[in-house]
Amino acid sequence: MSEHVQEFTDQNFDSDVAQSDIPVLIDFWATWCGPCKAIAPVIDEIAGEYNGKVKVGKVDVDQNQNTAMKYGVRSIPTLLIMKDGKVVNQIVGAVPKGNITTMLDEII
């Protein structure tokens, strides 16, 4: 994980994500998930490029099941984009970087 990617947990999700004053990109993942590993470098790149404009973080679904259930995450990787405490977009699966950045650019 890059220095710009935060770790979100059941304990800090509300304070770090739902109450964030900038949009948030959340990557729901697990250590055993191949596609999650494949998309991780893309998430790291986006975190660096959007530093200060978008908060980027990861939620390990095995360690933080309450948050995953709350947001209906059924398969991983799932990316949620939140703004003002609400989900504004969702991507399921490992997708090209452009798909993610296009959605982010629409809300910042």
Catalytic positions are 33, 36
Task: Give the whole-angstrom CA distance, residue 1 versus residue 47.
Answer: 10
Q: Is the distance from CB of 27 to CB of 100 less than 8 angstroms?
A: no
Q: Tell me the β-bridge partners of 60.
A: 29
State the chain's maximal CA–CA distance in angstroms: 32
